């Protein structure tokens, strides 16, 4: 391989310090404490702390005191989805990576700390990861394999210039992610006030105008509660089931032995596509026309609510365009009069019940379509639900716009990065290519 002038290939072990996280048993997990970072935190679009468990601080000090990560460290997945990258931020600093995650940081001054993440995402490094992890049903690599790998380093000045270009794209994507977290929290707060705490109903019972609500909207809410088979609920609301909200569709994977089923324009949603999102705007796999026709009854329209019911039960998102899912996902196609935004937040509020299959016991790994559709849910009147839809629609529209923009920026980044890291495109040319993208 021909390298640009002053670029050099080095043994990875000479320039990067690395350490795999410890094996920790579930019996050591606690409800709160020091974060145990899991592989779900390395999913693209996710926060590092997504899906984390917690450890007792005194136990960490006694047994794992040399494992906590520092801000700016890079985490590399060495199990399952090999080669995924996350950078430790201020919130996740001090956490411990679980086994299957390797903590990386520069060993030498000739490697810029911020450039390390891009070095590990380079085609040169990722190809070695794939080669090392091949040949096993449960793919994994570890420190032994890293000692046999190499990395390509540009001069320090060029590392920093590349980091500036790619970092600007990443920073905008991260800003969109944080903005969307705030927007979702706003919608969640309105949902909780109206449909969990019943603030408008309680205010009217007390003879008060519901806070922050106009008179026309307040008039849609009852001013009393009534008994139901399960609990006291606002008058004229009802206890129904998820199946009453619309059609429940369990996805299916078209035959993978037929390549012609794949590679078209229809998103094929799997659980990794759902992490850290409100809408799915991009999927790793797509279906062709032939693939969709193998299961014509599995079509989902835009704004269907997709819910993971296997492995990570309760993870939920909205479709942004007509899509298909695999069999690990049940989707709700909302009937007329049911707001998909309300439905999404309702399902997210039920994640605990979904995890336990609605039984309140230990976690289940598989909540089938029938059991999912039969789960009880409090259903407000269509007018109350419609008022909520109108109230939060601008919030969800903004979230979707941000997610589409992040997808576009990510595509630019993914196209540009291998060219920059191989020297095929130089920094001054890259600056022209990205133009006004950031």
What pLDDT does residue 144 have?
Answer: 87
CA angle 280, 196, 222 (to 5 degrees): 120
- Confirm whether 224 is domain-assigned: no
Q: 6-39: per-residue pLDDT in tens?
A: 899 999 999 999 999 999 999 999 999 999 999 8
Res 361: pLDDT: 46
Domain CATH for 143: 3.90.220.20
- Tell me, yes or no, whether 130 and 159 share the same domain: no
**195-205 pLDDT, tens digit each:** 999 999 999 99
Residue ending a domain, among 331, 357, 379, is 379
Distance of CA 26 to the CA centre of its chain: 23
Average pLDDT value for residue range 36-47: 81
Q: Is 75 found in the same domain as 94?
A: yes
Sequence-ordered list of residues with C-beta below 8 angstroms from that of 221, at least 6 positions apart, any chain: 194, 200, 201, 204, 210, 234, 384
Q: Does residue 211 fall inside a structural domain?
A: no
Read off the pLDDT band of 422 (50, 70, 90): confident
pLDDT at residue 362 tops 60: no
257 is a domain residue: yes
Residue 222: inside a domain: no
Higher pLDDT, 239 or 276: 239
Residue 64 domain flag: yes
pLDDT at 357 over 70: no
Q: How far apart are CA 126 and CA 159, in angstroms?
A: 18
66, 59, 48, 69: which is closest to 24 by C-alpha?
Answer: 59
pLDDT at 101: 92
DSSP string, 381-398: -HHHHHHHHHHHHHHHHH
List, for residues 76-90, the tens digit of each pLDDT value. Answer: 988 767 788 999 999
Q: In the prediction, which pLDDT does 228 show?
A: 87
**Average pLDDT of the segment spanning 348-353:** 89
Least confident of 79-88, 277-286, 315-324, 410-419: 79-88
Whether residue 175 is predicted with pLDDT greater than 80 in this model: the reply is yes
- Give the DSSP H or E segment for 120: helix 116-121
Residues 331 and 418 in one domain: no
Point out the domain boundary residue: 333, 354, 379: 379
Q: Same domain, yes or no, for 394 and 370?
A: no
Residues 242 and 122 in one domain: no
Mean pLDDT of the region 384-394: 97
Q: What is the pLDDT of residue 45?
A: 63
Is there a domain that residue 226 lies in? no
User: What is the CB neighbour count within 10 angstroms for residue 27?
Assistant: 5
Provide the pLDDT for residue 202. 96
- Domain total of the chain: 3
Report pLDDT for 62. 94
Query: Which are the contacts of 266, defined by CB distance < 8 A and separation ≥ 6?
Result: 286, 287, 288, 289, 291, 292, 322, 323, 324
At which of 363, 379, 395 does a domain end? 379
| 399 lies in the same domain as 269 | no
**Residue 142: domain span:** 8-153
The tally of CA atoms less than 13 A away on the side-chain side of residue 258 is 13
Q: What's the pLDDT score for residue 435? A: 60
Q: Identify which has the larger pLDDT, 430 or 55.
A: 55
For residue 136, what pLDDT is reported?
54
Would you state the pLDDT for residue 201?
Answer: 97
| Residue 375 and residue 247 share a domain | yes
Same domain, 283 and 346: yes
What pLDDT, on the 0 to 100 scale, is given for residue 434? 66
Please indicate, yes or no, whether residues 189 and 289 belong to a single structural domain of this protein.
no
Distances in whole angstroms, Cα of residue 335 to Cα of each of 50, 73, 191, 316: 32, 47, 20, 18
Per-residue pLDDT band for 359 (boundaries 50, 70, 90) equals very low
pLDDT of residue 360: 46
Q: What is the pLDDT of residue 338?
A: 97
User: Model confidence over 217-275: pLDDT tens digits?
Assistant: 999 999 999 998 778 999 999 999 999 999 999 999 999 999 999 999 999 999 989 98
| Contact criterion met (CB below 8 Å) for 9 and 3 | yes
225 domain-assigned: no
Structure tokens that stand for 334 in this block: 């909302």
Do 62 and 100 lie in one domain? The reply is yes
Residue 101 lies in a domain: yes
Task: Give the global pTM.
Answer: 0.82
Same domain? For 259 and 313 the reply is: yes
Q: Average pLDDT of the chain? A: 90
Q: Are residues 355 and 304 in the same domain?
A: yes
**Residue pLDDT, tens place only, 296-347:** 999 999 999 999 988 778 899 999 999 999 999 999 999 999 999 999 999 9
């Amino acid at each position: 391989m021909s390298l640009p002038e002053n670029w050099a290939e080095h043994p990875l072990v000479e320039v990067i310090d690395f350490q795999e996280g410890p094996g920790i048993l579930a019996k050591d997990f606690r409800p709160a404490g020091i974060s145990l970072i899991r592989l779900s935190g390395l999913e693209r679009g996710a926060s590092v702390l997504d899906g984390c468990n917690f450890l007792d601080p005194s136990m960490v000090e006694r047994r794992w005191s040399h494992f906590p990560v520092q801000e700016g460290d890079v985490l590399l997945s060495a199990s399952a989805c090999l080669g995924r990258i996350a950078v430790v931020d201020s919130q996740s600093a001090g956490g411990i990576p679980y086994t299957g995650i390797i903590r990386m940081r520069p060993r030498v001054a000739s490697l810029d700390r911020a450039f390390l993440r891009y070095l590990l995402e380079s085609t040169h490094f990722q190809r070695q990861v794939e080669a090392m992890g091949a040949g096993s049903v449960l793919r994994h690599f570890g420190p032994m394999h890293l000692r046999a790998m190499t990395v390509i380093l540009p001069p320090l000045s060029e590392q920093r210039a590349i980091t500036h270009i790619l970092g600007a794209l990443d920073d905008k994507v991260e800003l969109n992610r944080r903005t969307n977290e705030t927007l979702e929290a706003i919608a969640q707060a309105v949902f909780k006030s109206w449909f969990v705490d019943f603030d408008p109903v309680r205010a009217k019972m007390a003879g008060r105008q519901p806070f922050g609500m106009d008179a026309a909207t307040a008039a849609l809410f009852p001013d009393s509660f009534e008994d139901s088979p399960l609990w006291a609920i606002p008058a004229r609301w009802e206890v129904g089931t998820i199946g009453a909200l619309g059609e429940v569709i369990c996805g299916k994977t078209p035959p993978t032995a037929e390549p012609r089923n794949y590679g078209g324009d229809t998103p094929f949603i799997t659980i990794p596509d759902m992490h850290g999102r409100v809408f799915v705007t991009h999927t790793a796999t797509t279906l062709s026309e032939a693939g969709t026709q193998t299961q014509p009854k599995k079509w989902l329209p835009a704004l269907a609510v997709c819910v993971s019911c296997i492995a990570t039960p309760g993870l939920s998102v909205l479709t942004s365009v007509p899509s298909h899912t695999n069999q690990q996902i049940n989707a709700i196609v909302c009937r007329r009069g049911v707001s998909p935004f309300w439905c999404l937040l309702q399902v997210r509020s039920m994640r605990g019940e979904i995890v336990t299959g609605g039984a309140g016991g230990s976690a289940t790994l598989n909540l089938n379509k029938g059991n999912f559709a039969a789960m009880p849910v409090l259903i407000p009147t269509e007018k109350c639900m419609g008022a909520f839809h109108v109230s939060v629609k601008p919030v969800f529209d903004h979230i979707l716009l941000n997610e589409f923009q992040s997808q576009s920026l990510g595509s630019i980044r993914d196209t540009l990065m291998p060219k920059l890291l191989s020297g095929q495109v130089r920094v001054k040319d890259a600056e022209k290519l990205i133009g006004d993208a950031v």
